[in-house]
Amino acid sequence: MTDFQATRARFRIPDGVIYLDGNSLGPLPVAAEDRVARTLAVEWGGQLIRGWNSAGWMVQPRVVGDRIARLIGAPAGSVVVGDTLSIKVYQALAAALAMQPDRRVILSDSGNFPTDLYMAEGLIETLGRGHILKVVAPEEVEAAIGEDVAVLMLTEVDYRTGRLHDMAALTTKAHAAGVVTVWDLAHSAGALPVDLAGTGADFAVGCTYKYLNGGPGAPAFIYVAPRHAQTTQPALSGWMGHEAPFSFDPSYRPGEGVERMRVGTPPVIALAALDAALDVWDGVDMADVRRTSIALCDLFIELVEARCPALELASPRDGTRRGSQVSFRHRHGYAIMQALIDRGVIGDFRAPDILRFGFTPLYIGEAEVCGAVAVLKQVLDGGLWDRPEYHRKAAVT
């Protein structure tokens, strides 16, 4: 059984704060502070450019990728880290489309995160081959999979409601119709068990600043199924994905396997923070995380429904059909969330009316769930949210 008291001690959470937003930005792992300080002083400061070899900077994207692979059911050597998730979505989708020269439809759903859809639109323009982005309701995805579809591009957990797709079933159905799959694990990696190898997914991408606690703007990851890795065509053929970057050939040759999904120079300092953040997962069993997360979410739903009847549940009630977050709707959701944050209960808001609360067993327990509901009840019963400053929209919600 995972020791969640021990994992909690590995994070810095300010006194008086109940942090229910690890689904958007994980908190600072204590180990990341020392690690980044050492990377700056000893590696950059002391080793200067020699650090690319002596401090292992050049192999970091692959080394850190292997650590993430373990958390998402992927074999070693199938994941690399770098760039933002938007870029990784573009790369994965481009590679998937290249495998399907005779099909034109990219199938996604309205629960997908907008940047994934925007990147698909941009790629379609760039390719200029008449691809179509077909966006259906989440519950209609299965029926829309057919032999006209080139690529099924989905995010496993809906960022707004937490609804969880059945990745294994949809991948099986897609493959039976000859469809290549791209799964976005932004709200899955570190939140619930993922079995990329077992489901047979073709490509996957994900975030490291959410449940993996890599820090604001931490680099994303990309997985390429080993059966495709040697034939995948990289759309962003940067020198770090070249077979031999330091031979400085005038023309591109893809690197070995998933290495070809690297693009440019890796963000060494950000990778150091992420590498240290991944230490937290040593000794953590993802099945324990899942069981505890479902229990915490269930408790939150039960207490909120009993004490805050003005809120309407927006997440699936069945914990096995949900990620690691709970969302409620309220017309004044934004102002209510600002009032909560002002009182130390930090969640977030997603337009038009969703209050979103993430539950991360690594540092959240029943006491925080009960504490958060008590504050939520106060805010609603006393109408404490209805103050001008809580209605003023900030740039980031």
Taking the least distance from each CB to ligand PLP, the nearer of 25 and 69 is 25
Least distance CB 384 / ligand PLP (angstroms): 30
Catalytic residue among 11, 19, 90, 113: 113
Least distance CB 248 / ligand PLP (angstroms): 30
Q: Which helix (H) or strand (E) holds 205?
A: strand 203-206
- Three-class DSSP category at 164: strand
Q: What is the DSSP letter of 112?
A: S
Least distance CB 114 / ligand PLP (angstroms): 8
- 356 tagged catalytic: yes
- 334 tagged catalytic: no
Taking the least distance from each CB to ligand PLP, the nearer of 207 and 284 is 207
Least distance CB 23 / ligand PLP (angstroms): 9
* Interface with ligand PLP (CB under 6 A): 84-86, 113, 115-116, 155, 159, 184, 186-187, 207, 220
Q: How many helices (H) and strands (E) in the chain?
A: 15, 15
Least distance CB 264 / ligand PLP (angstroms): 15
Taking the least distance from each CB to ligand PLP, the nearer of 220 and 286 is 220
Taking the least distance from each CB to ligand PLP, the nearer of 92 and 186 is 186
Q: What's the rounded Cα separation, in Å, for the pair 11 and 222?
A: 26
- 104 tagged catalytic: no
Token pair recorded at residue 335 = 């102002």
Q: What's the rounded Cα separation, in Å, for the pair 34 and 272?
A: 10
Which residue, among 360, 340, 344, 346, has the nearest Cα to 296 in the 3D structure?
360
- 209 tagged catalytic: yes
Catalytic residue among 210, 260, 322, 350: 210
Q: Crossing angle of helices 30-38/268-278, nearest 10°? A: 140
Close Cβ partners of 303 (under 8 Å, ≥ 6 residues apart): 369, 370, 373
Q: Is the Cβ–Cβ distance between 258 and 79 less than 8 Å?
A: yes
Q: What's the rounded Cα separation, in Å, for the pair 336 and 21?
A: 15
Least distance CB 338 / ligand PLP (angstroms): 21
Amino acid at the residue 245: P
Taking the least distance from each CB to ligand PLP, the nearer of 194 and 304 is 194
Dihedral sign for Cα 122, 127, 132, 135, please.
negative
Amino acid at the residue 332: H
CA quadruple 14, 362, 302, 335: dihedral, nearest 10: 40
Catalytic residue among 262, 356, 359, 390: 356
Q: What's the rounded Cα separation, in Å, for the pair 322 and 336?
A: 23
- 184 tagged catalytic: yes
Q: Which residues are catalytic?
A: 113, 184, 209-210, 356
